[in-house]
Structure 1
Amino acid sequence: MIHVPTAVWAHTAFDLAAWASGLGLSAVLYRWRLRELTQDVARRVDSGYFAALVAGAIPGAWLAGSLNTLRDSHPALSHSVVGALVGAIVAVEVYKRLRGVTGSTGGVFVGSFSLGVVVGRFGCFFAGLPDGTYGTPTRLPWAVDLGDGIGRHPVALYESAAMAVFLALYLTGLAHRSPWAMRRGFYAMCVWYGVQRFAWEFLKPYPALIGPFNLFHVLCGGLVAYGWLYWLGDLRRERAAQGRALPVPGADHEPVRDLP
């Protein structure tokens, strides 16, 4: 068992680091690969897009977090990353439907969100037991003692590592201009984040909501369904567009003739 020094203020420190690193990566990716994508999104949306994003993310974060912790043995208000993500998606998709906007508009946030989780989860980890995000007891060699003498799963580090793997794959996809990363990166992120978070939720002592599943299981299941269905929808649109782009015969198609 590994003893881990903890401090409540670590959460705030790593949250600030997550925001700073996420914004920094966004700037780098914009200059490197996402300039055209960002400009395309900017042409299709207005300030209402960002108002919808904020209006969905903030209440979603606090509503999801509090609905979970208020059902605990020590009720308290709380906030949740997955709640913020789900809330933002719902609000933005409503905005897009009202404005007739199709296709993904979240690609510019993939890198910043992923890196934010990678860094931010260290804050959850080092904040210790008061943070309420600790894992269930285990006897595995890498079990951590967060101050109560009980070996626990370091679930925050599991999630951080899983999102670091996704971020590496995403950056590789951008480097090769792969369609999944350039066009459908946000949907891929939702599927990946939802699947890995769904798995780690079994290692947290949260109150069950439906059978063995807690509130975050339900939200993550929704994220996976959203990402997968919208991925397929965008793929159909892409193939339809390619089918309409028929080659037009021109000078380049004329056979070369021998000159007299």
Structure 2
Amino acid sequence: MDFPVTFQIFGKTVLAHPVFETLGIFIGMRYYFYLKRKSSDKLSFNTSAAILIGATAGALFGSKLIGNLENPYALFEKFSLKEIWSNNTIVGGLAFGLIGVELAKKIVRHKESTGDLIVFPLMLAIIIGRIGCFLTGIHEETYGVPTRFIFGMHLGDQYLRHPVALYEIVFLILLWIYLNRIGKHSKFPSGFVFQLFMLSYFIFRFLLDFIKPKVEIIGNLGTIQLVCIGVIIYYIYKIKNTRDLMYNQKTIEI
């Protein structure tokens, strides 16, 4: 296979990454609306609209902010609006999308968790997007460092590199299977599957970035890893509270 894989769209050569990213978002959203129609939990129009706007605005802002802060030195050396707009990361999108949703829920005074329904559509969108990352090779910063590991691949230069996009796809498929089993148990409260997804994904991304090129900000940690640490701490706290609540409910029933 030759990298990068490109497509001819309206007479222009387009990299695989934006094509699959757009496709992932579209299919993920269609899957979400499909699950929403089947769900017994019905939200009012105002609540649904507020959550969707909060999630979208937070994700867009966060993906651009953290994407540009991955290499803050380059940002200040060569200021370019086109470059700023093109830099994004799913880690920032997830972290700030969460903040956007929580703010929106406070505005409409909705206290119940709304995250479980989005977990599998979100994972599907990421998987499709990562196919595009892999097919783009080294032409966008979604590749791994050189390696002699058995899974090393030529991604467009002379080096064997970690195919980190494929690692992430495999991880998400395994996580999908696990969370699907968890979700079938009614004993877990609403929002627990989403909490497990966020904790698992951010732990994975924290570890994965050790085999990706990055600008070290603190010690040998990059910006994405620092964001991951904050989210991991938050969800360890959230899951602990959820488990304590489940234990107290069982104690009351006994």
User: TM-score, normalized by length of structure 1?
Assistant: 0.80
The answer to whether the aligner puts 1:216 opposite 2:216 as a matched pair is no
Which protein is bigger by CA-based radius of gyration? 1
Contact kept in structure 2, 1:173 and 1:181, CA below 8 Å: no
Contact kept in structure 1, 2:57 and 2:100, CA below 8 Å: yes
RMSD: 2.8
**2:149 alignment partner AA:** L
Aligned identity (percent) is 25
The answer to whether the aligner puts 1:122 opposite 2:131 as a matched pair is yes
Structure 1: tracts of 5 or more residues without a match? 247-260
SS of alignment partner, residue 73 of structure 2: coil
The answer to whether the aligner puts 1:91 opposite 2:100 as a matched pair is yes
Q: Which residue of 1 aligns with 2:237?
A: 229
Q: Which residue of 2 aligns with 1:20?
A: 26
The answer to whether the aligner puts 1:142 opposite 2:144 as a matched pair is no
Encode CA deviations 1:15-51: one digit per residue, 9 max, x unaligned: 133123323432454456xx124x2x54893533322
SS of alignment partner, residue 170 of structure 1: helix
Q: Which residue of 1 aligns with 2:69?
A: 67
Q: 1:72 to 1:99 in 2, by over 3 A?
A: same
Task: Write the distance in 2 (CA, Å) between the matches of 1:202 and 1:27.
Answer: 36
In structure 1, which of residues 50, 53, 56 is the aligned counterpart of residue 52 of structure 2? 50
Q: 1:127 to 1:69 in 2, by over 3 A?
A: farther
User: TM-score, normalized by length of structure 2?
Assistant: 0.82
Q: Which residue of 1 aligns with 2:40?
A: 36
Q: 1:50 to 1:31 in 2, by over 3 A?
A: closer
Q: Which residue of 2 aligns with 1:153?
A: 162
Q: Greater CA deviation, 227-236 or 119-128?
A: 227-236
Q: Which residue of 2 aligns with 1:252?
A: none
Encode CA deviations 1:137-176: one digit per residue, 9 max, x unaligned: 00122211112111100111111111111111122233x3
Aligned residues: 239
Contact kept in structure 1, 2:133 and 2:142, CA below 8 Å: yes
SS of alignment partner, residue 211 of structure 1: coil
Q: Which residue of 1 aligns with 2:211?
A: 203
Structure 2: tracts of 5 or more residues without a match? 7-14
Task: Write the distance in 2 (CA, Å) between the matches of 1:62 and 1:155.
Answer: 21
Task: Write the distance in 1 (CA, Å) between the matches of 2:196 and 2:224.
Answer: 19
Task: Write the distance in 2 (CA, Å) between the matches of 1:25 and 1:148.
Answer: 37
